[in-house]
Structure 1
Amino acid sequence: MASNNEREPDVDGEAGHGGVQSVDRALAVLEILARDGHAGVSDIAEEMGIHKSTVSRLLGSLVSREMVHQNSERGKYQLGFGILRLASSIPGRLSLVREARPVMEALADQFKETVNLAVLRSNYAVNVDQAMGPSTLATYDWVGSLTPLHATSSGKVLLAALTADDRDRILKETGLPARTPRTITSRKELETELIKVARDGYAVTREEFEIGINAMSVPVYSHLGTVIGAISISGPAFRFDPEKEPGLAGDLKEAGLQVSAKMGYTQR
């Protein structure tokens, strides 16, 4: 394998066949990451039989387009949010927004409140879709909004799914600013809350992000069993207490599993 690496010409910059070969190699890199979940430059180079410098250039291009993300685990790479963005433009099982939409609409209709789908991006929970209940009072469109992880139910779900190192990095970069008097601003208190989230399978906020709004959220899993998003339901605090709403926790968890199954997740 090493001798093949030494003899291989650098054709990335060549026209014609070299350009097609670069595309083929980039797709091969994505397939390896999809299969293994994450991989380092050396691992990919060895499997493909090409120079590590070539792999590094391929990964650099994929990272710049958010197709690939470099995590903090010894510099290994994994598929990025851009894959979902591409998938959402075509029919198919890989489109998180497309697959979650009917489930979200059913929840909004059943509980008469606002349902959101969020993913982790740039240290925040970004809402990528929203369904409104027939009697929902709120009219604000949260799609595209970046919300703090520590102060939202979706954010807590996404935080709880991270490794300790990734969570520590994000919280050091963002801090724990108070959005309301009820926002958790103590790291110790937040970590205790996240343990509860992991145990219960859902997260709750009570006027922590916005006074007068309560919410509950559950995770959505990929085919690899990793958390790729969160489905939340929120409503006015005067009428909506998530943990006292009959059947809500169970139905919301089931909704999360329905979407996860469409993304290829097999519950263990």
Structure 2
Amino acid sequence: MGNGSSDSGGGVQSVDRAVSVLEILARLGEVGVTELATEIGVHKSTVSRLLSALEDHELVEQAHERGKYRLGFGLLRLSNAVSGQLDVTQQGREICERLAVELGETVNIAVLRSHYVVNVDQARGPRSVGSHNWVGELTPLHATSSGKILLAFMSADARRDVLADVRLTRYTDRTVTSMDELERQLEVVAGDGYVVSTEELEHGLTAVAAPIRDHAGIVIAALSVSGPVYRLDDGRAREVVPAVVAAAAAVSERMGYRG
């Protein structure tokens, strides 16, 4: 990557150089400051500053031989976060497609990103052709079925931290805008193991969601079925709950959860 970006502010250039350091360490293993400086084409003091910043975040570490650096265990946290999301879509794809065909509605898998929900995979049933593509779209935690699942199964401390940054925006007259009411609903969701959300994010849209767990039993995603209210009214939504819960449990089993 040479000297990296020519951005006059130096910020992008520093990022380019830091990425270059990580790529070199990945390729060569343990590398010294002088060798890194030669590879990147910068002064050793610049490399030392980059290594210090990367070391603070555990992305690199010093090897036993003084002056040599290698990749750090902090990279595992990043890779696990990505691989977990990729795994849940891979393991859930067939199950979601089968459920979409069975129910005729749209099936999504969503995960937490900061204080939003992001849909990472979607399957469309035969009656949902032309429906909205939610993949990659950020949606609010408090006004979606998936968001309420992810909130309900967090630890109390984690939920408090997340909700501290959440503004309970009103999207319809059914949107929960009271933190006390939201907490009450989340208790019910945690007890029931599923949630039905009717017209909380959009008028005319109903969704049913259930939790997906990893091998340790931690809820890492939500599986939801959504459709128009005229098809997925309250009665129909309650009817599909067992199928949604079973599908989420099937994905959880594929993720290593044995219940």
Q: Tell me if 1:152 matches 2:153.
A: no
Query: Shift in Å at residue 224 of structure 1?
Result: 0.8
The alpha-carbon distance between structure 1 residues 62 and 233, as it changes in their structure 2 partners (threshold 3 A), is: farther
Give the match's secondary structure for 1:68. helix
Q: Which residue of structure 2 aligns with residue 221 of structure 1?
A: 213
CA–CA distance in structure 2, aligned partners of residues 63 and 144 of structure 1:
28
1:1-268 superposed matches below 5 A: 20=29, 57-58=58-59, 67-68=76-77, 80-84=80-84, 88=86, 95-136=87-128, 138-241=130-233, 244-245=236-237, 247-267=239-259
CA–CA distance in structure 2, aligned partners of residues 246 and 164 of structure 1:
28
Query: Shift in Å at residue 64 of structure 1?
Result: 7.9
Q: Give the conservation status (yes or no) of the 8 Å contact 1:59–1:68.
A: no
CA–CA distance in structure 2, aligned partners of residues 16 and 177 of structure 1:
46
Query: Shift in Å at residue 98 of structure 1?
Result: 1.1
The alpha-carbon distance between structure 1 residues 242 and 255, as it changes in their structure 2 partners (threshold 3 A), is: farther
Q: Give the conservation status (yes or no) of the 8 Å contact 1:243–1:249.
A: no
Runs of 4+ deviating beyond 4 Å: 15-19, 53-56, 59-65
Q: Give the conservation status (yes or no) of the 8 Å contact 2:114–2:162.
A: no
CA–CA distance in structure 2, aligned partners of residues 127 and 168 of structure 1:
22
**Where does the alignment leave 5 or more consecutive residues of structure 1 unmatched?**
1-11, 23-52, 70-78, 89-94
The alpha-carbon distance between structure 1 residues 59 and 239, as it changes in their structure 2 partners (threshold 3 A), is: farther
Q: Percent identity?
A: 40
Give the match's secondary structure for 1:174. coil
Query: Shift in Å at residue 142 of structure 1?
Result: 0.5
Q: Which residue of structure 1 aligns with residue 40 of structure 2?
A: none
Give the match's secondary structure for 2:112. strand
CA–CA distance in structure 2, aligned partners of residues 18 and 134 of structure 1:
48
**Where does the alignment leave 5 or more consecutive residues of structure 2 unmatched?**
1-20, 32-53, 62-70
> What TM-score, normalized by structure 2, do the two folds share?
0.71
Give the match's secondary structure for 1:107. helix
Instruction: Decide which structure has the larger Cα Rg and report it.
Output: 2
The alpha-carbon distance between structure 1 residues 242 and 256, as it changes in their structure 2 partners (threshold 3 A), is: farther
The alpha-carbon distance between structure 1 residues 100 and 18, as it changes in their structure 2 partners (threshold 3 A), is: closer
Query: 1:14-63: CA deviations, max 9, x gaps?
Result: x98996369xxxxxxxxxxxxxxxxxxxxxxxxxxxxxx96952389879
> What TM-score, normalized by structure 1, do the two folds share?
0.69
Q: Give the conservation status (yes or no) of the 8 Å contact 1:242–1:248.
A: no
Q: Report the count of equivalent residues.
A: 207
Query: Shift in Å at residue 151 of structure 1?
Result: 0.3
